[in-house]
Amino acid sequence: MTHPAPDLWICVKNIEDRWSVWPAALPVPAGWQAESAPAPHADCLARIEALWQDPRPAALKEVMA
C-alpha cells in the first residue's frame, strides 16, 4: 500500500507443491521452502509461471499417478 514495497522477493514452494512468492527480507514461514535467489517481484512470478505446470497438489498427483 503506501509503504514502499519490499524490493526483493524469492520463489517459495510448500509441502503440497504449491508455489508462491515471499519478501526476501522476511523469514520464510514454516512449511515453505525457498526455491530461488532474491529477485524482483515480476521475475519471481515469471519463473513460477514457467515452472509450475501441474497445478495439482502433491497428494492428488500421487493418487492419480
Residue ranges that bind another protein, judged by CB under 8 A: 1-6, 11-12, 14-16, 18-23, 25-32, 41, 44-46, 48-49, 51-53, 55-57, 59-60, 63-64
Minimum separation from the CB atom of position 3 to another protein (A): 4
Give kind and range of the element (H or E) at residue 46: helix 41-51
Minimum separation from the CB atom of position 58 to another protein (A): 9
Minimum separation from the CB atom of position 52 to another protein (A): 4
In whole angstroms, what is the distance from residue 21 CA to residue 13 CA? 8
In whole angstroms, what is the distance from residue 19 CA to residue 45 CA? 10
